[in-house]
């Protein structure tokens, strides 16, 4: 029985994209153009841009906004690697999906929600991203997204089959984004003023399901690692993560990296964040000004609440997928999935 050619093209398009990506990356299939378009106007041609450690696969219509990523990828990789324990270099495949349908069909397992911008598969060495052209909500930062997902890839390689503490996974991904975040500052200020900090060891397996507590967990993870970096230096942070990646106890790992006990480091950190984020009483000094400043925080919180609810759905998805993904995708590779 014959099948209309249009239907065939629609079915094989994304699958060909994935197959050709893999063949090109191992040198079996030379780079060349496929038919220029389908009947519904979507380009079928695939292009590849290679650097020393990356193979970027994309569609011609997405090339222009990707130039900054192509130029900066190796520098970004080197900078992140300088904060993590050494790991052998491997080729990292970055696939840029040209449509939401393609993004969904290129995912090798359970599908993520449509609002997810990128996915990292650490054990496979694959990052799947949406082309900037198809992102219609917000103002996504392509390099920020890439830095976030690449951090997950490198952490996954450093830890191998060992579980990565959730606070370390998300804290490092945020730290390597290198972006200022007003919502994170607001959340941390509110947590310090309300004495709602969460002990680090309570965030190893997962983050709280409650929206407010989950936001605090993300903010704490970022500021704790930022404190280690700024107080003790990049090498101390690198050694700290390296010790944990080898299965060393948290207290021993922090002691070897900083020559201080975990309790002492936590005390220093808490003192630091309370000084940094407990600024409202110092500035105001009066009841009326306190009320105004508090109102500003509340307004800021309400403005961000819709975005935070969406993020919480994403965090819940990550919690659900991080552990069982080893069984769903490929039992031999123990893949983990991380999204932004």
pLDDT by residue (tens digit) across 41-67?
A: 355 689 999 999 999 999 999 999 999
Structure confidence at residue 104 (pLDDT) = 94
- Of 114, 122, 91, 87, which Cα lies nearest the Cα of 26? 91
- Run of H or E residues at 54: strand 54-58
pLDDT at 310 over 80: no
pLDDT tens digits, one per residue of 94-106:
999 999 999 999 9
pLDDT tens digits, one per residue of 145-157:
999 999 999 999 9
Structure confidence at residue 230 (pLDDT) = 95
The answer to whether 173 and 318 have CB atoms below 8 angstroms apart is no
Pinpoint the residues of the chain covered by CATH 3.40.30.160.
16-159
Structure confidence at residue 114 (pLDDT) = 85
pLDDT at 10 over 50: no
- What is the pTM assigned to this prediction? 0.74
DSSP state of 70: H
**Mean confidence (pLDDT) of the chain:** 78
Q: For the beta carbon of residue 63, count every other beta carbon within 10 angstroms.
A: 15
Is 16-159 CATH 3.40.30.160?
A: yes
Residue bearing the bigger pLDDT, 37 or 243: 243
Of 85-89, 168-172, 278-282, 287-291, which has the strongest mean pLDDT?
168-172
Structure confidence at residue 53 (pLDDT) = 96
Is the backbone of residue 288 left (phi > 0), alpha (psi -120 to 50) or beta? alpha
pLDDT above 70: percentage of residues in the chain = 69
Residue bearing the bigger pLDDT, 254 or 210: 254
In degrees and rounded to multiples of 5, residue 124 shows phi and psi of -95, -15
In degrees and rounded to multiples of 5, residue 225 shows phi and psi of -70, -35
Give SS3 for 173.
helix
The answer to whether 22 and 128 have CB atoms below 8 angstroms apart is no
Give SS3 for 128.
strand
What are the tokens at 171?
A: 């804290």
- Of 132, 14, 138, which Cα lies nearest the Cα of 62? 132
Structure confidence at residue 321 (pLDDT) = 43
Distant-in-sequence, close-in-space partners of 215: CB < 8 Å, separation ≥ 6: 183, 187, 308, 311
């Amino acid at each position: 029985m014959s099948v209309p050619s249009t239907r065939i093209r629609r079915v094989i398009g994304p699958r060909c994209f994935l197959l050709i990506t893999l063949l090109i990356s191992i040198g079996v299939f030379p780079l060349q153009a496929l038919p220029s378009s389908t009947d519904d106007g979507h380009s079928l041609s695939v292009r590849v841009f290679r650097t020393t450690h990356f193979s970027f696969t994309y569609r011609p219509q997405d090339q222009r906004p990707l130039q900054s990523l192509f130029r900066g990828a190796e520098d970004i990789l080197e900078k992140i690697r300088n904060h993590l324990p050494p790991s052998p270099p491997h080729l990292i495949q970055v696939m840029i999906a040209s449509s939401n349908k393609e993004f969904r069909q290129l995912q090798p397992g359970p599908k993520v929600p449509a609002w997810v911008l990128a996915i990292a598969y650490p054990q496979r060495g694959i990052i799947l991203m949406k082309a900037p052209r198809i992102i219609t909500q917000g103002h996504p930062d392509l390099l920020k997204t890439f830095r976030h997902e690449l951090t997950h890839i490198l952490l996954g390689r450093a830890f191998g089959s060992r579980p990565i503490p959730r606070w370390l996974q998300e804290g490092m991904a945020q730290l390597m984004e290198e972006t200022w975040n007003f919502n994170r500052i607001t959340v941390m200020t509110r947590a310090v003023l309300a004495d709602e900090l969460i002990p680090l060891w309570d965030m190893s397996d997962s983050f709280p399901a409650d929206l407010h507590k989950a936001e605090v967990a993300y903010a704490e993870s970022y500021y704790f690692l930022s404190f280690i970096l700024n107080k003790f230096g990049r090498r101390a942070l690198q050694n700290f993560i390296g010790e944990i990646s080898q299965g060393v106890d948290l207290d021993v790992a922090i002691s070897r990296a900083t020559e201080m006990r975990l309790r002492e480091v936590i005390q220093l950190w808490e003192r630091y964040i309370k000084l940094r984020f407990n600024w409202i009483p110092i500035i105001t000094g009066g009841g009326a000004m306190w009320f105004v400043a508090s109102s500003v925080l509340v307004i800021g919180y309400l403005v961000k609440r819709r975005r935070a609810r969406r993020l919480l759905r994403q965090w819940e998805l990550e919690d659900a997928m991080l552990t069982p993904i080893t069984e769903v995708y490929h039992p031999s590779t123990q893949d983990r999935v991380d999204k932004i």
